[in-house]
Amino acid sequence: MKHFLQKLGKSMLIPIAALPAAGLLLRLSAEDMLNIPLFQASGVILNNMDILIAIGIAMGLAKTKDKGIPALTGYLAISVLNEGLGILNQDLDMSVFGGVIAGLMAAYIYNQFQHTRLPSMFAFFGGEKFPITMIILVMIPIAGLFSVVWPYAQAGIDAFSQMLVGMGAFGIFVFGFFNRFLLPFGLHHVMNTYVYFGLGRFETASGQAITGEITRFLNGDPHAGYFLGGFFITMMFGIPAIALAISRAARTKKKETKALMSSGAATSFITGITEPIEFTFLFTSPLLYVLHSVYTGLAGMTLYLLGIRHGFSWGAGVIDYVLNLNLSDRGLLVIPVGLAFFILYYATFYFIITKRNVPVVGREQGAASLQENGGGTAEKHSKYQTIAADILQHIGGKENVMSCENCMTRLRLRLADNSLADEAKLKRAGAHGVIKIGRHDIQIVVGPDAANVKRELQTLIERESY
């Protein structure tokens, strides 16, 4: 189950890759900005998240290197499901849940039937093409089933949504807390997907019904954004404050620590990617990470109580903050609130680090940073090649690797034997954090360069296989 939830969370990240371009173009081309109607076509991405999620899950869970057929299977699954529901009951809308169900079914059907052999006259439709036929046949009765079941499920989901929203400030605190608290396990994406793309309902001027905090906020819903605004406080002020506290508390390698913290703080401030900083203290001080989770929830609660509403399209960094300011309510007040949280973060983190002697970067002998290892063991090798080679060595070699994937900041590996992975050496090789899950799954946090490192790691594995 842990392995499945890890892969599901990773799979849901695949369609998220489309959000930065879609969100930025949608805002830049809006009437209150550049007013370029054609570029508003990018909004179709946000309005079809169920399709993207179905495709992403089908690709992520399919047991094959070539993801083309699984992607098509996922698209066919959600298309048949939506059309079937529309025929039987036009009032039904499964939203992102339909994408999850369709994606799971597509992946299952593909994995079960990709090696099916048919008689020679039908051989063209066999093999990995057979799931394309099977998914159509399977999704028709599933659509019929959900036309009966979903109204009850929808009532339950609506009740949960109303309860979460009805909890007001406390509900926002709970979401913000678990958004950070579940991050080390990679499970926050599962919760985020519902809140971002399934929570609430809003009807646009054209009569289109849309769901989700992000989608509703970008489409002008005056009640959307309260579950999003607090992340601007965390990403733009909280994480930089933590980085400053760690830098100021450093006793050794102060220049290297400052460089690493500055890079991580800038990444969080601009893009909203926080893991390079968070994983420097997550394992050395769970107390600090719980405190960080509490502050994230408290930030959202504070904005709600002050009537401040803001939102983002893909990340709560300064780019989204500026572009979406016109859609916010009292959005400028995020800055003074953020400065107050900056002081709170810095004071408490610096105090705990120094008084409890927390062995964060700069206070731990033998700790190396990503920059220190970036030069490589041979000048002809790139930084990513060197990091990948070191990681492969310290996880037991290519014979121990069963699968290799990545999300935005992590390598997600399935190993034959997790015990062969040396956490200390992996961190010295440049990893910000190492998470072992069960006997086979491991996540190695390397920061925003995860995709580059994964590509080099995959190349090394394939090269050594010949």
Q: What average pLDDT score do residues 345-356 get?
A: 95
Q: Which of 43-52, 134-143, 329-338, 361-370 has the lowest mean pLDDT?
A: 361-370
d(CA 63, CA 72): 15
Task: List b or e across 397-407, with b for residues whose CB sees 16 or more CB atoms inside 10 angstroms.
Answer: ebebbeebbbb
Q: How confident is the model at residue 136 (pLDDT cuts 50, 70, 90)?
A: very high
Task: List b or e across 351-386, with b for residues whose CB sees 16 or more CB atoms inside 10 angstroms.
Answer: ebbeeeebebbbbbeebbbbeebeebeeeeeebbbb
Q: Pick 405 or 130 by higher pLDDT.
A: 130
Which residues fall within 8 angstroms of residue 371, CB to CB, at 6 or more apart? 256, 259, 260, 263
CA angle, residues 387, 391, 396, in degrees to nearest 5: 155
Q: What share of the chain is helix, strand, coil (3-state, %, to 5)?
A: 65, 5, 30
* Residue 342 in this model has a pLDDT that exceeds 60: yes
Rg of the chain's alpha carbons, rounded to an integer? Answer: 23
Q: Per residue in 35-75, pLDDT tens? A: 898 988 888 887 888 899 999 999 989 988 888 999 999 99
Identify the pLDDT of residue 373.
41
* pLDDT-above-70 percentage for the chain: 91
Given a contact cutoff of 8 angstroms between Cβ atoms, the answer to whether 267 and 239 are in contact is no
* Residue 257 in this model has a pLDDT that exceeds 60: yes
d(CA 287, CA 352): 9
Identify the pLDDT of residue 185.
65
Which one of 30, 107, 288, 407 is the catalytic residue?
407
Q: Which of 212-221, 276-285, 369-378 has the lowest mean pLDDT?
A: 369-378
Identify the pLDDT of residue 432.
75
* Residue 454 in this model has a pLDDT that exceeds 80: yes
Q: Is 407 a catalytic residue?
A: yes
d(CA 6, CA 365): 33
* Residue 2 in this model has a pLDDT that exceeds 80: no
Q: What average pLDDT score do residues 392-412 get?
A: 84
Q: How confident is the model at residue 6 (pLDDT cuts 50, 70, 90)?
A: low
d(CA 293, CA 184): 11
d(CA 252, CA 258): 11
Q: How confident is the model at residue 1 (pLDDT cuts 50, 70, 90)?
A: low
Token pair, residue 382, equals: 């790139």
Q: Which of 45-59, 205-219, 360-374 has the lowest mean pLDDT?
A: 360-374
Report the topology of domain 372-465.
Answer: Gyrase A; domain 2 (3.30.1360)
* Residue 156 in this model has a pLDDT that exceeds 70: yes
Q: Spell out the domain ranges in the chain.
A: 2-162, 167-367, 372-465
Question: Within the chain, what is the greatest distance between any pair of CA atoms?
Answer: 76
Phi, psi angles (nearest 5°) of residue 101: -60, -45
Q: What average pLDDT score do residues 166-174 get?
A: 92
Q: How confident is the model at residue 164 (pLDDT cuts 50, 70, 90)?
A: confident
CA torsion through residues 189, 190, 194, 195, sign: negative
d(CA 161, CA 163): 5
Q: What is the pTM of this model?
A: 0.68
